[in-house]
Amino acid sequence: MSGEASRLDLFGTDEQVAERRMLSAGPLTAILEDGNLRTIRFAGVEVVRAINYLARDASWGTYKVELTNLTISEDKAAFEVAYDGLCLGAQGRFSYRMKITGKASGALTMEAEGVALSDFPTNRTGFVVLHPSEAAGGRLTIRHSDGRIEETVFPEAVSPDQPAFDISALTHEPAPGLICTVAVEGDAFEMEDQRNWTDASFKTYVRPLSKPRPYVIAKGAKDIQRVTVSIEAKALAARPGTALKAMLTLGGPIGRMPSMALFLDPDELPSALAGAALLGPAQDVIIRFDSARGHDGRMLGKAADLAATIDARLAIEAVVDAVDPRAEARTVANAVRSSGIEPSAVLISPRREFRTRQSNLVPAGERPVSDLVDALKATGIRAAIGAGTPSLFTEFNRNPPSGDADFVFFGNAAIVHAADDLSVMGTLSVYPSVIATARRLCPGKPIWLGPCTIGMRHNPYGQAVAANPALSRVPGAGNDPRQGALFGAAFAVGVAARAAAAEVDRLILAAPIGVFGLVDDLGRRRPLQAVHAELSAAAGARRYDVVVDHPGIAAIAYGLGQDIRVLVANLTPDAVEVSVPRSAQLLGLIDENAELANPRRNQPLAPYRCAVLRLQSGRLPHR
């Protein structure tokens, strides 16, 4: 399949990725990256996903760190790493000395001795430990600061709030016969379920969220923290690493493909109309409507014109105050009637949903979303009514909608906490848990899933998304360069494969134009446009079972005319040889111009590339 591409075409940026170095001491291995450890394994089994030392600013952005004086020593029995770190920001400076030691016995220690070089405002400074999301449902032993032992489990459903508090040590069994204990020192620690943000981990972090923030580390104040990992192994066989080969197998029909929708802010409507000929098909265009911003029926009419040019229907995301449901419902209904359109749906977005809040809380003076649903239905509007959040699954999980809505909705962003390539693609593994949890909260309700993007549309946890003028990999940013590159197309295939398997009703991956657009501001189609067009053409079609024996290859199969098509994406930084049924024809690789390029035959699928296959439905191979 091949598909080698430049760094700029792959990622939308020439930024060099952080250097990774594999550390090993006997059966203990870890990847050193930017001074932190990730993918910590013992005898090939991942025991800890990552141990990071970081500083967060008042908006939960991450302070930039400069590393100096790095030394690494390594032999068969042990490895040692040491370096100096300096956190720099407009608000202050903080330095630390890091020491890392690992031994073949499985003992691993990270110790940081920090000092504030100025008054240093921060929401969190110190260690976070990530346990793999695959631990969900497994046994967990917690040692508390007073020595008390608590026996519990990692939550199966995504926990809206912290599943563990006052942590001194955590013990779990990542594989039969393998016991991993992580001890933390230096301050109070607690755990959150990072699957809320589609991070593939349970995070144990320093400083409880119940304490005031931001707080200030006074100039000259010292801060010492330590994380110790210990392993007890009983007759454990080493596991092989992931191969660079994959087998793709097709089965019979197992469901239907979701419909596809685009999301649109009215400020981008003129540009979207100008570029409409380049967008390709969609089933819905979801326009944000907020009367407080001056939106009216004329704006809705123009948005309906855009939808009509791509054979889509207009859906309306109505942003309301949730104070006077009947009056607010009339405002929306009157705008719809004055526009002369019949929207496919109205998605109710209470303004409070743009900011995170505690679980099961309706602010004083506001009404629950169920009252808004009832009020809108009472106007006689014939559209389907949706309830949910314009923010992330976290907000949906903490305050799920109740009442008689026809469907529910929420979105996801991949870089809330981490922005490296592996973490972004790792979020895809969490989608099944997120969607399953949403179904538990709102049984029987169809799900409109999205926007599902790399960057954040807005920041529910701070004043704004993180600035990214250099177009690099920045946690919490809105304009992530990978969204419009080949990487973003592969990410979208990964989302679609998991969303379709979970039988969501609508999938929202992109906007027509802008930061999240199918088309860039210069009128050029992005690779994501080709993925979106393929999925839109298959909306409602039969979906076929497809199995790939490699975790880094995503695939989705569907009927299109008399054929079966398969979208395949390599989600990894390595070329992977993908074996497909002999009756499959390779139509091409999606290139940087959203075209299907002719590949070289009998070549591995290059990193972060997407391929389109075709089979005649009468030649479907049997397992």
Nearest to 162 by CA among 173, 174, 170, 154: 154
CA distance 514 to 544: 33
pLDDT greater than 70 at residue 97? yes
Nearest to 569 by CA among 449, 512, 501, 488: 488
CA distance 462 to 612: 40
**SS3 label, residue 34:** coil
pLDDT digits (tens, 9 = 90+) for 236-254: 666 666 678 999 999 999 9
pLDDT digits (tens, 9 = 90+) for 442-489: 999 999 999 999 999 999 998 899 999 999 999 999 999 999 999 999
Q: 491 and 394 in one domain?
A: yes
pLDDT of the residue at 3:
63
pLDDT of the residue at 618:
59
Task: Please state the φ and ψ torsions of residue 617, each to the nearest 5 degrees.
Answer: -60, -30
Token pair for 77: 């029995």
Q: What is the DSSP letter of 506?
A: E
Token pair for 495: 């989302």
Q: 322 and 409 in one domain?
A: yes
Task: Please state the φ and ψ torsions of residue 190, each to the nearest 5 degrees.
Answer: -145, 175
Q: 279 and 227 in one domain?
A: no
pLDDT digits (tens, 9 = 90+) for 182-204: 999 999 999 999 999 999 999 99
CA distance 463 to 121: 16
520 within 8 A of 526, measured Cβ to Cβ: yes
Would residue 614 count as lying in a domain? yes
Q: What is the DSSP letter of 355?
A: S
Q: Which residue's structure tokens are 């009216």?
A: 296
497 within 8 A of 556, measured Cβ to Cβ: yes
Residues 6+ apart with CB under 8 A from 591: 3, 5, 486, 527, 597
Q: What is the DSSP letter of 525?
A: B
pLDDT over 70 for what percent of the chain? 97
Q: 553 and 493 in one domain?
A: no
pLDDT of the residue at 461:
93
576 within 8 A of 246, measured Cβ to Cβ: yes
pLDDT of the residue at 236:
66
Would residue 239 count as lying in a domain? no
590 within 8 A of 531, measured Cβ to Cβ: yes
Render 295-340 in DSSP notation, one character per residue.
--HHHHHHHHHHHHHTT-EEEEEEEE-SSSHHHHHHHHHHHHHHHT
Residues 6+ apart with CB under 8 A from 318: 289, 290, 332, 346, 347, 348, 349, 376
Token pair for 14: 């020439």
* Confidence bin at 616 (pLDDT 50/70/90): confident
Domain final residue, candidates 503, 521, 539: 539
Would residue 98 count as lying in a domain? yes
Segment among 51-60, 401-410, 474-483, 613-622 with least mean pLDDT: 613-622
Render 227-245 in DSSP notation, one character per residue.
EEEEEEESSPPPPPPPPSE
Q: 534 and 557 in one domain?
A: no
Indicate the residue type of 90. Answer: A
pLDDT of the residue at 621:
52
Would residue 133 count as lying in a domain? yes
Q: 174 and 43 in one domain?
A: yes
pLDDT of the residue at 240:
65
285 within 8 A of 262, measured Cβ to Cβ: yes
Quote the domain boundaries for residue 206.
7-233
State the CATH number of the domain containing residue 291: 3.20.20.80
Would residue 384 count as lying in a domain? yes
pLDDT digits (tens, 9 = 90+) for 405-417: 999 999 999 999 9
**How many CB atoms within 10 Å of residue 402?**
13
pLDDT of the residue at 60:
84
pLDDT digits (tens, 9 = 90+) for 32-48: 999 999 999 999 999 99
pLDDT greater than 70 at residue 609? yes
Angle formed at CA 381 by CA 380 and CA 382, multiple of 5 degrees: 110
CA distance 247 to 578: 6
pLDDT greater than 50 at residue 328? yes
**CA distances (Å), 293 to each of 312, 318, 404, in order?**
25, 12, 28
Would residue 238 count as lying in a domain? no
Q: 570 and 527 in one domain?
A: no
Q: 498 and 366 in one domain?
A: yes
Would residue 89 count as lying in a domain? yes
Averaged pLDDT, 265-284: 98
CA distance 209 to 5: 43
Q: 560 and 412 in one domain?
A: no
* Confidence bin at 623 (pLDDT 50/70/90): very low
Q: Considering just the CA atoms, what is the radius of gyration of the chain in Å?
A: 25
**SS3 label, residue 479:** coil
Quick check: pTM over 0.85? yes
Q: 158 and 24 in one domain?
A: yes
CA distance 300 to 228: 58
Three-state SS letters, 148-179: CEEEEECCCCCCCCCCEEEEEEEEEEEECCEE
pLDDT of the residue at 72:
98
Cis-peptide, bond into residue 214, ω within 30° of zero: yes
pLDDT greater than 80 at residue 602? no
Domain final residue, candidates 506, 539, 572: 539
In which element (H, E) is residue 491 found? helix 486-501
149 within 8 A of 171, measured Cβ to Cβ: no
Nearest to 497 by CA among 569, 425, 438, 410: 569
Task: Please state the φ and ψ torsions of residue 388, each to the nearest 5 degrees.
Answer: 170, -140
Task: Please state the φ and ψ torsions of residue 74, each to the nearest 5 degrees.
Answer: -155, 135
Would residue 2 count as lying in a domain? no
Domain final residue, candidates 520, 539, 558: 539
pLDDT greater than 90 at residue 61? no
Averaged pLDDT, 553-579: 97
pLDDT of the residue at 58:
86
pLDDT of the residue at 241:
64
Label residues 35-71 b or e (16+ Cβ within 10 Å = b): bbbbbbbbbebbbbbbbbbbbbbeebbbbebeeeeee
Number of domains in the chain: 3
Token pair for 461: 């946890």
State the CATH number of the domain containing residue 174: 2.70.98.10
State the CATH number of the domain containing residue 601: 2.60.40.1180
Q: What is the mean pLDDT of the chain?
A: 96
Q: 578 and 470 in one domain?
A: no
pLDDT greater than 60 at residue 511? yes
Q: 552 and 499 in one domain?
A: no
